Structure 1
Amino acid sequence: MPAAEEIDGDVYVSPVYLAGSTYTGDPALRPLLDAGFNRLDDDLANIYLSSPDQRIRVGWLPEGEDDALWRITGHEQPFAPPRWLATFDHYTPVEVVAAFTTALAEDHARGSNASVHGRIGSNRAEPLRPLAEAGWRVAHGPYLSVSQPPDRLALVTYVNGRLDHHEEISDQRSKWTVSGGASGYSSEWLGTFTTHTPAHLVTATMNRLADPAPVARYKDFVPERNRSAARITPVKPPAPSPLDIQRAAAARSRSTVARTVIASPALVYRTTTPLPAAAPARHR
């Protein structure tokens, strides 16, 4: 297998937390749009989605006022302050965000209130379970619970103590933080979840974070500092089907006949236009 620096063009990258951003929101917006969320675009290219009952709101904000590219909130009532807030910054892999929004869309499709209040029986340990099952180290301290993968290039933290709700909703503090990438500006990304963010939505995000399945990227989109640590493989063209092979053979056959005709104009003349008969000899 060629070294990562020798590969160019379209690639597969694993783990997802080292893949970098695609700088597009479509994969994370699409599940919500397919679920019937309303869409509003402003003249700055920001996109706002809301559930039909106006209790879930999603902003994709490339021209927002801070580093949060994604701001997602859940509300008790349409005009109530947010019950919970989730954010993801510009460098977050869109597949991580899509895991969260897909879970939101599934709640909406089931007609469930779980996307606002959570599921009965959920607990704070639930989101850490998929990480532990994937081999991440989980350590519980008096203030923080911390989880990291074996390569130590991602980090999930959970604050064990009670936080002020208004500080959380104003994005000053967060119950959960998740980040990834090698150290360095534009290589690390950050996501946050406040205390009342439903545990199953956080769990969906952690499931994708722990999933070793590679994601597609253009090589230059993978942060340079991450390339030596990530597993990067070229995208191979798909193997031709029997029908593809048959069509290619037919095309080559037609091409060979055409070249023969073009290269032998005399043959074309002889086979399409008879030669004039010789003039009869004159008798003297």
Structure 2
Amino acid sequence: MLTHPLENLDPVQSVQVLPRHLAGPGAVDPRPVWDFPFEEGWSFAQTEAGTAAAFSPCLRLQTTFDPQPDKPCKGTWTINAHRAPFTPPAWWVTFDATTPAEILHDVHSELLDLYLEHRHSDRDWLFDKGTAEYQVYAPLLARGWRHEVKTDGAQTFFTPEGLGGLRHQYATDTKGVAWRAWGGFPDEPHWTARFSVDTPTTLVAAFTASLISTEPLQRTVQDIPTQTRRALYVATPTGKQPNSNTPVAPPPPAPASGHTR
């Protein structure tokens, strides 16, 4: 049996890998993930145990990180948006702590953009769908993701290798989960993300754009999930390699044309 390039590298070897949804979480650190302008009135607090929270100056946006190292998901990242301070959330998003940090950063960057756009317009972008739903998944189809539609009001998009997906519950109640994404085997994913009904579609689109980005993620070999390593390819090994002849996996073949309903 042919060995995979990652199997020939030292566990502490740093590599750049794709696809992103199988790369592992990377550095779990709230400040770089959130990257909010804390010098401009945003609040940040973190306990010795690692639990962290950040609030917008208007107190309508709240983001939290709750580490739970003993659980498979290692904790939860949460975004809550409130129409008025101290009221129930109008919408929410959750990510397992095992979600790739770069994807988390891109979603929170879009969240900040929505917040800043609201400050300079009459439109409340935090509570406006803004983007058509097809813009969330059209890029997935263009990258060769498989599409299934069921009669229960849901459509599901699967990665080309079958180790990740996005489920869109387009017929749902007002309090349910509209979008659910995962990386890894469906019955035992590495990570899961959930977007409630009324989450701005622009935010979900930023998530999928980051998910399928062709910019590799840098990881050490030991931090990459072992169960799905053979579905990864090494873009550019960095640092010292134990064997100068260690092969580098080629990029995957160009995806087939996206399927349509």
* TM-score interval (norm. to shorter): 0.7 to 0.9
Distance 2:169 2:15 in 1: 37
Contact 2:182 2:192 in 1 (8 A): yes
AA aligned to 1:49 is A
Q: CA deviation at 1:23?
A: 4.6
Question: What are the ranges of 5 or more consecutive residues in structure 2 without an aligned counterpart?
Answer: 240-261
Aligned residues: 229
Contact 2:28 2:97 in 1 (8 A): no
Relative distance call for 1:14 and 1:42 in structure 2 (3 A) is same
* SS class of match (2:35): helix
Distance 1:216 1:34 in 2: 29
Q: Sequence identity, in percent?
A: 23
Distance 2:186 2:197 in 1: 27
* SS class of match (2:198): coil
Q: Which has the larger radius of gyration?
A: 1
Contact 1:83 1:116 in 2 (8 A): no
- Counting only pairs closer than 5 Å after superposition, residues 101-120 of structure 1 correspond to structure 2 as 101-110=108-117, 111=119, 114-120=124-130
Aligned to 1:139: 148
Question: What are the ranges of 5 or more consecutive residues in structure 1 without an aligned counterpart?
Answer: 169-173, 238-284
Contact 1:104 1:115 in 2 (8 A): no
Relative distance call for 1:183 and 1:6 in structure 2 (3 A) is farther
Distance 1:24 1:48 in 2: 14
Are residue 178 (structure 1) and residue 181 (structure 2) matched? yes
Aligned to 1:70: 77
More helix by share: 1
Relative distance call for 1:225 and 1:141 in structure 2 (3 A) is same
Residue among 17, 21, 24 paired with 2:25:
21
Distance 1:2 1:161 in 2: 42
Distance 2:60 2:38 in 1: 15
RMSD in angstroms over aligned alpha carbons?
A: 2.7
AA aligned to 1:55 is R
Contact 1:184 1:225 in 2 (8 A): no
* SS class of match (1:177): strand
TM-score when normalising by structure 1: 0.72
Are residue 58 (structure 1) and residue 63 (structure 2) matched? yes
Relative distance call for 1:60 and 1:92 in structure 2 (3 A) is same
Contact 1:27 1:95 in 2 (8 A): no
* SS class of match (1:78): coil
Quick one: higher RCO (CA 8 Å, sep 6+), 1 or 2? 2
Structure 1 segments of 4+ aligned residues over 6 angstroms from their partners: none
TM-score when normalising by structure 2: 0.78
Distance 2:185 2:27 in 1: 19
